[in-house]
Chains A and B, each alone.
Chain A
Amino acid sequence: MVRVVAGTIVSGIGVLFLLVGSLGVFRMPDVYNRLQAGTKCTTLGACLAAVGVGIIEPQWFWKTFVIALFILVTNPISNHAIGRASKKSGVPLCDRSVVDVTENLKEYEGRS
């Protein structure tokens, strides 16, 4: 019983973070800020949701732990890949941006 309650609470917190993350994807002004909301919140959200299931069903705990670990390792890489591809193909930063060092780099010349 305690296990079910604890697992549900952990999963619930995870789902809340996922909700905030998807809300962020709507509210943010450009692709880079959307990536921030879309990865930060979903990393912890998905990990907590998985581990919560593992707490409810103890024989699955280590499997869900490995799932959480793989999410932690792979999520930043997909984030980086999308961000880099957007920058390389010339997607501009939003109007509220204050600084962009890529303007002075030869690797990014003529791409925005």
Chain B
Amino acid sequence: MLPCSIVSTSIALPGISGIESFIDLLRHTPLEFSTDTVDLPASDLLPIRLKRRMSRLIQMTVSTTFQARQSCAGSADAPLVYGSANGEINTIGSVLNEIFQEPPLVSPSAFHNSVHNSAPGYWSILTRLHHASTTISAGETTFGCALLQAAAMLSDRDPFVQLTVGDEKIQVPQWADPGHTNIDFCGSMVLSRHTSGDALAHIIDLRHMHGPEATEYQKEAHPIRIASGYRHPCAAFYVLLEFLHAPSSSGRIKLVEGDPESGCIGMTIERS
């Protein structure tokens, strides 16, 4: 695996849309959110007609993907790796409610919005881009596996790859373990195979591991959580964004997702 660089980022969190407001948030310790869901305003990118049809996850994905790409010249055709543990679980929940009504009447738009890759689909429709795109899900290692995939694309041939990872708070289906994801969060970054220049940071180690190697790696790793009381499958990405943008952070951070028995993704990132 080639070392690679993080050249731009963006984030959506409750009350936060974009890096500038995120940096403001990081000045508050401990982090506090007045709500656990994201409500983005309608915009040129999210026209009100389409916004009404989109889940919060789709809105967050489109917005963060746009912002990160806008900050990186040359990445317009970059492939998109999209990671989400639960995908459109709230929409699936509403479709399941509909099919058990009598007669079962499913909304066509709810049905096509229920597929896991709805968000990257909308992104390409809104931007009319023809890039390659894939969607990955791996529970608590969703971010790490998506990053492995993005890095593999870079080492293959692509100069830039965009990685967007997110999940929305589970609300509709009670069977889907709502406590597992109780806050909206989505983040995006553009990765470059070039490690020089004005990169935000460099990924100097990225690997899958298990057993004693993973246990050792974990000992030095940074704790993974967004804020007290909140659980999110992609929290490691939040911690990475915090490391990249908190005024006080410097040097390296080591992150591990997963557990040593079933397998971990470990990564070390160094700020430029």
**Do A and B interact with each other, yes or no?**
no
B residues touching A (Cβ–Cβ < 8 Å)? none
A residues touching B (Cβ–Cβ < 8 Å)? none
